[in-house]
Amino acid sequence: MSKMKLHWRILIGMVSGVLFAIAMIQFDGGPKVVSDWIKPFGNIFINVLKLIAVPLILASLIKGVSDLKDISKLSKMGGRTIGIYIVTTVIAVSIGLTIVNFVKPGASISQETRNEMVENYKADTDSKIQQAKRQKEDGPLQALEDLVPSNIFNAASSNGNMLQVIFFAIFFGIGLILIPEKTAAPVKNFFDSFNEVILKLIDLIMLAAPYGVFALLAALIAESPSLDLFKALAWYSFCVVIGLLLMIGVYILFVWIFTKRSPSFFISGISPAQLLAFSTSSSAATLPVTMECVEDNLGVEEEVSSFVLPIGATINMDGTSLYQAIAAVFIAQAFGMNLDLAAQLGIIATATLASIGSAAVPGAGMVMLVIVLNQAGIPEAGLALIFAVDRPLDMCRTVVNVTGDSAVAMIVGKLMNKLKKS
Ligand code: ASP
């Protein structure tokens, strides 16, 4: 068993989790047994992954930036990273809009089904709308203001402040570059060793990954709502999944064009992170493994991966933006609204920004979807229509989010001459 490749072990864990849950729900008390005795292990697994997210970002980013030894290199890499991230996000939204306008999944939802769903999911929808309202009340420059923490310990105390920790780490790294090398050496050595320790911890956590995903998927199946609702939303889900698959095709193409690496090299190298993204629905929780895969399997040097990936996990969410575009137009269609070209262009802009603003945690994309809906004048109550299938689609879009970050890491690695020869 121990010789088997990690992605196979994770896959076996996932499939056995699903089968186990299907068997358990046949019994009366089965779902409760799963949620009392299996689910906690899944939660522990996610917690331990999140536990090392902040120390990982601090250590690897400080090491990465200070290894650059040169501020101009840093700004070059930063510019390229952000530029490519924005381009891939706009491509993703455009793919989403094209598919949803072509297939028109919302047109088939009858008024009756619509009313029923709005009624069923009213409470859940209201809570998402409230969360979005809190975010929306902020001024236009709030996001920029939020980037700079006033206290690093406060910032590091919540995984939701990832961007603030990134800001501090880059700032600290710049300080390290600017002081004489000899003076910087002890601090740099400390962070280098700290980084090594964290990487070892990731190795240890990965030993538990197959069991962790078993528990996560078993709990998910045992607690999911009835199949009927899923069926009503089949066309919508189909559009999202096709869009996400196309987006993976776009990454494969970009990786091939820029780095000449084959699709199988890229996909098999990143597959453990993809499977984990699918099981956890969180790019932030997957980050440690994404970094390991990108460095060890795809050959991107740490200097680049430690910069590109933490930033990507927080701001580059192509899967999320694609889903937001499809969901917004689907809801408009279901309410019989016709969106003109200007409204659709508006969706490209807001979905791009909303995906940047989405946190890298389960369900975050749906909260930010409210803002896209508001902007386009689509009824918020429409969220209820897509609630039933949001979790499985969240799992799929998170896979695309981490695949996108990894593809961009390879491309930036190539552009910066930091991609190992295969
Ligand atoms: N779960 C997604 C992620 O962590 C965000 C979202 O679309 O909800 O990447």
What structural domains does the chain harbor? 6-415 (1.10.3860)
Ligand 1 center–CA 316 separation, angstroms: 10
Question: Which is more confidently placed, 3 or 292?
Answer: 292
- The tokens of 150 are what? 């006033």
**If pLDDT is split at 50, 70 and 90, which confidence band does 269 have?**
very high
Q: Which of ligand 1's atoms lies nearest the C-alpha of 323? A: 7
Mean pLDDT on 102-119? 80
Residue 360 and residue 365: Cα distance in Å, rounded? 9
- Give percent above pLDDT 70 in the chain: 95
> Which pLDDT score, from 0 to 100, does residue 2 have?
54
Mean pLDDT on 342-348? 90
Angle, CA 344 vertex, CA 343 and CA 349 arms, to 5°? 95
> Which pLDDT score, from 0 to 100, does residue 228 have?
59
pTM value?
Answer: 0.87
131 has pLDDT over 80:
no
**Cα 354 to the center of its chain, rounded Å:** 13
- State pLDDT tens for residues 146-156: 889 999 999 88
> Which pLDDT score, from 0 to 100, does residue 384 have?
83
Residue 2 and residue 179: Cα distance in Å, rounded? 46
| Mutation choice for ligand 1 from 93, 274, 398, CB with most ligand atoms inside 8 A | 398
**Do residues 109 and 234 touch, judged by C-beta distance below 8 A?**
no
- The tokens of 4 are what? 């088997």
- State pLDDT tens for residues 206-220: 889 899 999 998 988
- State pLDDT tens for residues 111-122: 777 777 777 777
Q: Which of ligand 1's atoms lies nearest the C-alpha of 364? A: 8
- State pLDDT tens for residues 393-415: 999 999 999 999 999 999 999 99
Residue 381 and residue 376: Cα distance in Å, rounded? 14
> Which pLDDT score, from 0 to 100, does residue 1 have?
46
231 has pLDDT over 70:
no
Residue 67 and residue 296: Cα distance in Å, rounded? 18
- 419 backbone dihedrals φ, ψ, rounded to 5°: -115, 120
- Say if ligand 1 is within 6 A of residue 282 CB: yes
**If pLDDT is split at 50, 70 and 90, which confidence band does 226 have?**
low
Average pLDDT score over the chain: 88
Question: Which is more confidently placed, 71 or 183?
Answer: 183
Question: Beta partners for 419?
Answer: 300
192 has pLDDT over 80:
yes
